[in-house]
Amino acid sequence: MIRFERVTKRYEGAPGSEGDGATAAVDDLSLEAPTGKITVLVGPSGCGKTTTLRMVNRMITPTSGTISIDGRDTASLDVAELRRGIGYVIQAAGLFPHRTVLDNVTTVPRLLGTDKKAARARAMELIERVGLDPAMAGRYPAQLSGGQQQRVGVARALAADPPVMLMDEPFSAVDPVVREQLQNEFLRLQSELGKTILFVTHDIDEAVKLGDQVAVLRVGGVLAQLDSPAKLLAD
* Ranges within 74-133 binding ligand ADP (CB under 6 A): 99-100, 102-103
Q: Are 27 and 220 in contact (CB under 8 A)?
A: yes
Closer Cβ to ligand ADP, 99 or 129, answer by number: 99
Smallest gap from Cβ 92 to ligand ADP, in A, equals 14
* Binding window for ligand ADP (CB under 6 A); candidates: 39-47, 65-73, 124-132, 205-213: 39-47
CA distance from start to end of the chain:
28
Q: What is the nearest approach in angstroms of ligand ADP to the Cβ of residue 41?
A: 8
Residue 49 binds ligand ADP, judged by CB under 6 A = yes
The yes or no reply on residue 48 touching ligand ADP (CB under 6 A) is yes
Task: Say whether residue 57 binds ligand ADP (CB under 6 A).
Answer: no
Closest CA to 193 of 229, 149, 230, 157: 157
142-146: which pairs have CB atoms within 8 A and are 24 or more residues apart?
Answer: 142/97, 144/101, 145/178, 146/173, 146/174, 146/178
When asked if residue 213 is in the footprint of ligand ADP (CB under 6 A), the reply is: no
Q: Which of these, 112, 42, 105, 88, lies nearest to 197 by C-alpha position?
A: 88
The single residue among 2, 4, 7, 25 that binds ligand ADP, judged by CB under 6 A, is 25
Least Å distance, CB 10 to ligand ADP, is 9
Closest CA to 201 of 233, 235, 166, 234: 166
Amino acid at 214: V
Question: What is the Cα–Cα distance from 82 to 80, expressed in whole angstroms?
Answer: 5
Q: Does residue 50 bind ligand ADP (CB under 6 A)?
A: yes
Residues that bind ligand ADP (CB under 6 A): 11, 14, 25, 43, 45-51, 99-100, 102-103, 137-138
